[in-house]
């Protein structure tokens, strides 16, 4: 569990029973479902986590004062209501629950497909008006028809599976899927144009992004087979709604079933009310089972993050599961501390940062180790809320070149992390590893092998490899009543040079540093404040 009592704010309606994971970890759960924007702005800086559904809007203005907030959990798939760029800049991880409503969304797609094929809503409305007509509501059967699935992610695959059970022929478009993988699902992979031109029903299951905005524009919609049907239970904005209305009016498309719209509630009433359109108010995840599942899932994800640092289903940072998080944690601490020490030794402004992993460290998520290293490098110098989630953004903003790579092995260690930083004093390279499970060590610096602990205030001293140097350094510290917590010495007899590293129990002032350097055997003295080695 975290070192403090975690506070979690629930901003939208969630069943209390689904929050058991948070309460079990001892978190203080503030249930403020329906909270107003002004109240949310006041309370947000006092909590560690925020849980929302689709109602609450987490804006850039709201995140301008994040306080202690570390994670936002969206109980659902879409994060349109969270300003991801602002959250990332604020150092806040944003998680969602992409698997919790897969079945619900797939079933909603099939329900809309039946509804448009058999004109069921219109027939129901007619009967309620006291009419008894059949001819206007003659539909089509699904058996034997071709379904085109745009996007073969989790929901798209579930839709394909159900369509096959209805004896439909299924073809799909997904730029990330191989023909072999699609074939294993019983789906024939085709181009977007081929799917649109040859499908009786087309269903949209791609995420909304700049690349997919108006993916189905007027030209592509016109290319659909005459008499075809279009379904969208993904996201609004993927289909050009004005062009769709024109094709429904002309009869080119026989019908459409939409659960999502570019503006919600939809402002294009002519489209929503068109007799060939079956429209529902974003019900894709609106089943009791799905609502319970996503609420329970987001509570568990946040609890794991607050307890052990596990990052699951993050949309602005690489994810790392619970078991991997446990393995990663000591290496992440080492990366952060090596970054902080190297940056302090190199000085500010920084020009370049290189992170190299060796051996077994390559099994860990390198992107997260890079993020932790950058956080350690930047946090002492950057004004603002820097965190692993936004550290690369801060580095890029300041023109710092960041490089990372992996080497399969190291001649001396099974696993090692090297951080090299270039600043005003030159290039500083530190090699670090773990002794045992979680004992952090610097094993090489400034070209010298050593055994130093990256902890607390540190002094690095380059000196001639001659008698009396350590006595001089320890004497200066003793005279200033500064206790030495640990000391490591590396030497190169061939060059006649040595390096001494001291861990101290208190910070040093300029006068003590000058006294340490006041000996002809001392080449240089560099100081690392204690705050750079905290994690």
pLDDT of residue 445: 96
Question: Could you please report the per-residue DSSP string of 293-362?
Answer: HHHHHHHHHHHHHHHH--B-SBSSS--B-HHHHHHHHHHHHHHHHHHHHHHHHH-SS--EEEEEEEEGGG
Question: Could you please report the per-residue DSSP string of 157-220?
Answer: HHHHHHHHHTT-EEEEE-TT--HHHHHHTT-EE--HHHHHHH-SEEEE----STTTTTSB-HHH
Burial of 393 (0-12, 13-18, 19+ CB in 10 A): middle
Dig out the tokens for 342 from the structure: 């190297």
Q: What is the pLDDT of residues 178-207, one digit of tens each?
A: 888 899 999 999 999 999 999 999 999 998
Burial 207-232 (b: 16+ CB within 10 A, else e): ebeeebeebbeeebbeebbeebbbbb
Average pLDDT over residues 452-469: 96
Q: Is the peptide bond before 460 cis (omega within 30 degrees of 0)?
A: no
pLDDT at 129 over 70: yes
pLDDT of residue 383: 57
% of residues, the chain, pLDDT over 70? 98
Q: How does residue 3 score in pLDDT terms, banded at 50, 70 and 90?
A: very low
For residue 422, the Cα-to-chain-centroid distance in whole angstroms is: 29
Q: Over the Cα atoms of the chain, what is R_g?
A: 30
Q: CB–CB of 205/150 below 8 Å? A: yes
Dig out the tokens for 44 from the structure: 């947000």
Residue of 28, 133, 141, 264 with catalytic role: 264
CA-based nearest residue to 259, from 104, 490, 439: 104
pLDDT at 322 over 80: no
Other beta carbons within 10 Å of 288: 9
pLDDT of residue 1: 39
Other beta carbons within 10 Å of 485: 15
pLDDT of residue 268: 93
pLDDT at 82 over 80: yes
21 three-class SS: helix
Dig out the tokens for 327 from the structure: 């393995």
Residue of 74, 157, 225, 235 with catalytic role: 235
Average pLDDT in the chain = 92
Q: CB–CB of 233/290 below 8 Å? A: no
Q: How does residue 461 score in pLDDT terms, banded at 50, 70 and 90?
A: very high
Place of tokens 């917590």: 485
282 is annotated as an active-site residue: yes
HEC sequence for 58-77: ECHHHHCCCCCCCEEEECCC
pLDDT at 2 over 50: no
Residue of 162, 205, 282, 441 with catalytic role: 282
* Sequence-distant (≥ 6) Cβ neighbours of residue 358 within 8 angstroms: 406, 407, 408, 409, 410, 413, 415, 416, 417, 418
Domains of the chain: 7-98+289-308 (3.40.50.720), 102-279 (3.40.50.720), 322-533 (3.30.1330.90)
CA-based nearest residue to 522, from 447, 468, 438, 464: 464
264 is annotated as an active-site residue: yes
For residue 458, the Cα-to-chain-centroid distance in whole angstroms is: 34
149 three-class SS: strand
pLDDT of residue 87: 92
Distance CA 94, CA 313 (A): 8
Q: What is the pLDDT of residues 219-273, one digit of tens each?
A: 999 999 999 999 999 999 999 999 999 999 999 999 999 999 999 999 999 999 9
pLDDT of residue 382: 66
Place of tokens 């300029």: 510
For residue 273, the Cα-to-chain-centroid distance in whole angstroms is: 39
CA-based nearest residue to 295, from 10, 87, 14, 8: 14
């Amino acid at each position: 569990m975290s070192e403090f009592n975690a506070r979690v704010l629930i901003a939208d309606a969630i069943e209390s029973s689904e929050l058991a994971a948070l309460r079990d970890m001892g978190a203080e759960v503030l249930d403020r479902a329906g909270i107003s924007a002004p109240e949310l702005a006041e309370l947000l800086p006092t909590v560690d986590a925020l849980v929302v559904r689709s109602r609450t809007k987490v804006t850039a203005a709201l995140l301008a004062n994040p306080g202690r907030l570390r994670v936002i959990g969206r109980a659902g798939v879409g994060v349109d209501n969270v300003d991801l760029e602002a959250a990332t800049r604020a150092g806040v991880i944003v998680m969602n629950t992409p698997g919790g409503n897969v079945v619900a969304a797939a079933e909603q797609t099939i329900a809309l497909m039946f509804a448009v094929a058999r004109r069921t809503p219109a027939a129901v409305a007619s009967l309620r008006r006291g009419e008894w007509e059949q001819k206007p509501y003659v539909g089509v059967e699904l058996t034997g028809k071709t379904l085109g699935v745009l996007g073969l992610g989790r929901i798209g695959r579930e839709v394909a599976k159900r369509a096959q059970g209805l004896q439909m022929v299924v073809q799909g478009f997904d730029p990330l899927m191989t023909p072999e993988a699609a074939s294993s699902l019983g789906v024939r992979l085709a181009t977007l144009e081929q799917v649109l031109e040859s499908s009786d029903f087309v269903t949209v299951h791609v995420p909304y992004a700049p690349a997919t905005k108006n993916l189905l524009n007027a030209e592509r919609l016109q290319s659909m087979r005459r008499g075809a049907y279009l379904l969208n239970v993904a996201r609004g904005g993927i289909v050009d709604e004005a062009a769709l209305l024109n094709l429904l009016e002309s009869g080119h498309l026989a019908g459409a079933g939409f659960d999502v719209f570019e503006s919600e509630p939809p402002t294009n009433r002519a489209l929503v009310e068109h007799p060939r359109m079956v429209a529902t108010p974003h019900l894709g995840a609106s089943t009791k089972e799905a609502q319970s599942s996503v609420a329970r899932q987001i509570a568990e994800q946040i609890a794991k993050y607050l307890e052990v640092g596990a990052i699951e289903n993050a949309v602005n940072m690489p994810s790392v599961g619970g078991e991997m998080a446990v393995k990663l944690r000591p290496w992440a601490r080492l990366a952060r501390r090596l970054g902080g020490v190297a940056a302090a030794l190199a000085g500010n402004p920084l020009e370049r940062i290189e992170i190299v992993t060796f051996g077994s460290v390559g099994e860990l998520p390198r992107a997260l180790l890079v993020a932790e290293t950058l956080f350690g490098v930047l946090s002492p110098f950057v004004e603002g809320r820097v965190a692993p989630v936004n550290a690369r953004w801060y580095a890029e903003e300041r023109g710092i070149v960041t490089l990372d790579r992996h080497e399969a092995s190291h001649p001396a260690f099974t696993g090692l992390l090297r951080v090299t930083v270039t600043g005003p004093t030159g290039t500083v390279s530190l090699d670090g590893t773990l002794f045992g499970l979680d004992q952090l060590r610097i094993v090489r610096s400034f070209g010298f092998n050593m055994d130093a602990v990256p902890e607390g205030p540190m002094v690095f001293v380059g000196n001639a490899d001659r008698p009396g140097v350590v006595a001089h350094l320890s004497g200066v510290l003793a005279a200033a009543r500064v206790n030495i917590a640990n000391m490591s010495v590396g030497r190169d007899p061939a060059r006649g040079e040595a390096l001494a590293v001291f861990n101290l129990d208190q910070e040093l002032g300029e006068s003590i540093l000058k006294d340490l350097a006041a000996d002809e055997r001392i080449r240089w003295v560099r100081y690392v404040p204690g705050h750079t080695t905290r994690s």
